[in-house]
Structure 1
Amino acid sequence: MNDLEQAKAKAAMTYNAAADYFDHPVSSFWHCFGRQTVERIDLRPGERVLDVCSGSGGSALPAAEQVGPDGQVVAADLAECLIALAVAKAENKGLENIEFRVADMLDLGYPDASFDAVVCVFGIFFVPDMTAAVRELWRMVKPGGRLAITTWGPDLFEPANSAFWDAIADVRPDLQRGFNPWERISEPSGLREMLAEAGIYNADIAAESGTHPLTSPEDWWAIAMGSGYRGTLAQLDAEALTLVRKKNLAQLDESQVDAIATNVIYAVARKEAVSQI
């Protein structure tokens, strides 16, 4: 299995496992940042949108509402359990203009210039070659269309993140992560550089600092269970999982942590329209 196949399998395993906590109320930031991404691309009624790494619909559902019944949204994600959550929510909202696909964003099969907007919220860093992934997404944007990439800024989920990995190191040091894939693009300069490598030089990039409140350490554990940390937790036996949870939450309790960092970077690029001569 090559690096790309391994990354795809890991992402699908992680987020299928995390689906039971993914929409927990304490993790409302997924949908908040999804809506804010959609607001930044000024969708109009009748437009066609592709949303990749769509999760449980945090950006796809508001996009479908924006483009209206004459528009269309295609939402794709590798995790079938997250797609199932999104399908249920779309049905509950009565949205009939959205198509869901359990699929790889690099192998969707759409022709060039198929969409007025392509959106990827917290997903571009799951592939080993982010530049190639952006190039593929850009290919599917129509002239005059938009590409939106949203990623994490620095210090994601701190100080709870460091407490989590400290607890993992005590129990299973072989699982401790030394580098997060989004760190390369966690500053505007890094994101701009990566986009330029993909041939995109005109992106509007905005960094926003933020925090997410915790009413108790248990809130953090629900977030961990419903996010990428679940891939690590799924590799622990019951005893090790109990120890990690106890150590992680004890450290947060001792430090009286009542909020975590949720810094975000938004990038929106508009493809030059074809001149009418």
Structure 2
Amino acid sequence: MGELDEAKAKAAAAYNAAADHFDHPVSSFWHRFGRRTVERLALQEGERVLDVCCGSGGSALPAAEAVGPKGTVVAVDLAERLVALGEAKAREKRLANLEFKTGDMLALGYRDASFDVVVCVFGIFFVPDMVAATRELWRMFRPGGRLAITTWGPDLFEPANGAFWDAIQAERPDLVKGFNPWERISTPAGLRDMLGDADISGPDIVAEAGSHPLNSPEDWWLIAMGSGYRGTLAQFDPATMARVREKNLAGIAGYKAITTNVVYGVATK
């Protein structure tokens, strides 16, 4: 299996496993940042939107509301269980202009200029070659259209993130990551450089500092179970996971929030 196929398989497996906790209220930031991304685009009625790495609809649902019944939104994700969650929400909201699909953003087969807007929230970094992926997204929308890439800023989920990997280190040092892929684009300069490498100039990039409240350490564990951390946790038997959980939560005792800094980028073609 090549690097790209391995990355896709790991992402799909992690988020399919995380689907049972992905929409838990403690993880409301998925939809908060998705909506903020859409707000920054100032979508117009009737526009055609492609949302890749859509999760359960954090940005696709508000996009569908914004473009109205004359517009369309196609929402794509590798994790079919997240797609199913999104489909259920679209039905509940009666958004007939929103189509969810399980698929790979690098192999969608759409012609050049098929859309007015392309959105990717917390997803571009799952592809080993972010520049190539961004070029593919850029190809699929018309001149005058917009590309929105939202990514994590520095210190994601700290201090809980550090405590999590300390707990993993105690059980399986081989699973500890030395580098997270979003770190290359976790600053405005980093995102601007990546877009420049994809021959995209003049993006509007804004860094937003933020935090997400924790009512208790257990809130963090639910967030971990409903996010990409689940891919690591899925490799443990119940007894080992219990030890990891205990150590992780002990490491954040007394903390009332985790860091959720975000970088928003919008480029016009």
Q: State the TM-score, normalizing by the size of structure 2.
A: 0.99
Q: Which residue of 2 aligns with 1:91?
A: 91
- 1:137-176 alignment, distance < 5 Å: 137-176=137-176
Q: Which amino acid aligns with 1:165?
A: W
The separation in 2 between residues aligned to 1:33 and 1:142, in whole angstroms, is 25
The separation in 2 between residues aligned to 1:123 and 1:189, in whole angstroms, is 18
1:112-166, Cα deviation, whole Å (9 max, x unpaired): 0111000000000000000000000000111110000000000000000000000
Q: Which residue of 2 aligns with 1:262?
A: 260
| Aligned CA-pair RMSD | 0.5
Q: Which residue of 2 aligns with 1:212?
A: 212
Structure 1 residue 11 corresponds to structure 2 residue 11? yes
Q: Which residue of 1 aligns with 2:242?
A: 242
Give unpaired runs (5+ residues) of structure 1.
272-277
Q: Which amino acid aligns with 1:154?
A: P
The separation in 1 between residues aligned to 2:187 and 2:65, in whole angstroms, is 31
The separation in 2 between residues aligned to 1:187 and 1:144, in whole angstroms, is 26
The separation in 2 between residues aligned to 1:92 and 1:82, in whole angstroms, is 16
Q: Which amino acid aligns with 1:259?
A: A
Deviating 4+ runs (over 3 angstroms): none
1:55-111, Cα deviation, whole Å (9 max, x unpaired): 000000000000000000000000000000000000000100011110000000000
3-state SS of 1:150 partner: strand
Q: Which residue of 1 aligns with 2:130?
A: 130
Q: Which amino acid aligns with 1:82?
A: L
1:184-242, Cα deviation, whole Å (9 max, x unpaired): 00111111000000010110000000000000000000000000100000011111100
Q: Percent identity?
A: 72
Q: Which residue of 2 aligns with 1:274?
A: none
The separation in 2 between residues aligned to 1:48 and 1:67, in whole angstroms, is 8
Q: State the TM-score, normalizing by the size of structure 1.
A: 0.97
Q: Which residue of 1 aligns with 2:121?
A: 121
